[in-house]
Amino acid sequence: MLDGIAPDRLKYFVYVQRRRARDTRDYMIQLIKGFHDVLPPETAKWRFVIETARENLVRCGFREIIIPVMEKTELFRRGIGEVTDIVEKEMYTFTDRSGESLSLRPEATAGILRAVVEHSLLRRDPVLKLFSIGPMFRRERPSKGRYRQFYQINAEVLGDDHPLTDADTIAAAYQIMADIGAKSVIMEINSVGCRSCRTAYREALRSYLAPHLPRLCADCRRRYDLNPLRVLDCKQEECREICATAPLIIDHLDASCREHFVQVQQALSALEVPYRVEPRLVRGLDYYTRTAFEIIHDELGRSKAVGGGGRYDSLLRELGGDDVSGIGFAIGIDRIAMGIDGGGSYEPHVDVYVAMLGDNAREQGIKLVHSIRRSGLSVETRYSPMSLKSQMKLADKLGCKKVVMLGEDELAKGEATVRNMETKEQFSVRIEDIIRYLQGEHS
Ligand code: AMP
Answer yes or no: is 201 within a domain: no
**Cβ atoms within 10 Å of 165's Cβ, excluding its own:** 21
Count of the separate structural domains present in the chain = 3
Model pLDDT, residue 83? 81
162 and 303 together in one domain: yes
- The answer to whether residues 369 and 381 touch, using CB atoms and an 8 Å cutoff, is yes
Asked if the structure places residue 124 within a domain, the reply is yes
pLDDT digits (tens, 9 = 90+) for 396-425: 999 999 999 999 999 999 999 999 999 999
360-369 pLDDT, tens digit per residue, is 999 999 999 9
Tell me the residue length of the chain.
443
Picking from 304, 338, 372, the residue at the C-terminal end of a domain is 338
- CATH number assigned to the domain comprising residue 409: 3.40.50.800
Side chain identity at residue 407, one-letter code: G
CB 417 within 8 A of CB 427: yes
* Band (2; pLDDT cuts 50, 70, 90): low
* Residues 282 and 422 both lie in one domain: no
Atom 8 in ligand 1: residue holding the nearest Cα:
332
54 plus 132 within the same structural domain: yes
What pLDDT digit, counting tens, does each position of 239-253 carry? 999 999 999 999 999
Q: Is 23 among the domain residues?
A: yes
Residues 189, 306: one domain? Answer: yes
Question: What is the rounded end-to-end Cα distance, in angstroms, of the chain?
Answer: 52
Of ligand 1's atoms, which has the minimum distance to the CA of residue 295?
10
What does the pLDDT look like over 124-174, one tens digit per residue? 999 999 999 999 999 999 998 899 999 999 999 999 999 999 999 999 999
Examine the pLDDT at 442 and tell me if it is beyond 60. no
Domain co-membership, 78 together with 150: yes
278, 138: one domain: yes
Query: Would 380 be classed as within a structural domain?
Result: yes
**277 and 358 share one domain:** no
pLDDT digits (tens, 9 = 90+) for 314-345: 999 999 999 999 999 999 999 999 877 755 56
Tell me the percentage of the chain whose pLDDT exceeds 90: 78
Asked whether the beta carbons of 158 and 119 are under 8 A apart, the reply is: no
pLDDT of 303 reads 54
CA distances to 8, 9, 10, 360, 416 from 4, rounded to whole Å, are 12, 10, 10, 49, 52
Has residue 219 been placed in a domain?
no
Evaluate: CB of 50 within 6 angstroms of ligand 1: no
Distance 296 CA to ligand 1 centre (A): 12
Domain for residue 215, yes or no? Answer: no
**Rounded mean pLDDT, 59-88:** 94
Residues 326 and 430 in one domain: no
From 150, 293, 294, 299, the mutation candidate for ligand 1 (largest count of ligand atoms within 8 A of CB) is: 150
For a substitution probing ligand 1, which of 87, 137, 151, 335 has the most ligand atoms within 8 Å of its CB? 335
CA 121 → CA 66, 127, 133, 159, distances in Å? 14, 10, 19, 11
Q: Rounded to two decimals, what is the model's pTM? A: 0.88
- Per the omega criterion (within 30 degrees of 0), is the bond before 68 cis? no
**Residue 302 pLDDT grade (very low, low, confident, very high; cuts 50, 70, 90):** low
DSSP string, 378-426: -EE---S---HHHHHHHHHHTT-SEEEEE-HHHHHTTEEEEEETTT--E
- H or E element: which one contains 435? helix 434-442
Write down the pLDDT at residue 17. Answer: 87
Helix, strand, coil share of the chain (percent; to 5) = 50, 20, 30
Q: Kindly tell me if the per-residue pLDDT of 441 is higher than 80.
A: no
CA of 140, closest atom in ligand 1: 19
DSSP assignment string, 424-437: --EEEEEGGGHHHH
Q: Indicate whether 217 belongs to any domain.
A: no
CA-closest candidate to residue 192, choices 107, 241, 108, 258: 258
Q: Are strands 101-104 and 93-95 parallel, antiparallel or unpaired?
A: antiparallel
> What does DSSP say about strands 70-72 and 101-104: parallel, antiparallel, or unpaired?
antiparallel
**Which CATH number covers residue 171?**
3.30.930.10
> Is residue 344 assigned to a domain?
no
Mean residue pLDDT across the chain: 92
Same domain, 167 and 293: yes
152 Cβ closer than 6 Å to some ligand 1 atom: yes
Instruction: Note whether 118 and 46 are same-domain residues.
Output: yes
Q: Are residues 164 and 312 in the same domain?
A: yes
* β-bridge partners, 428: 417
Q: Which domain holds residue 408?
A: 349-438
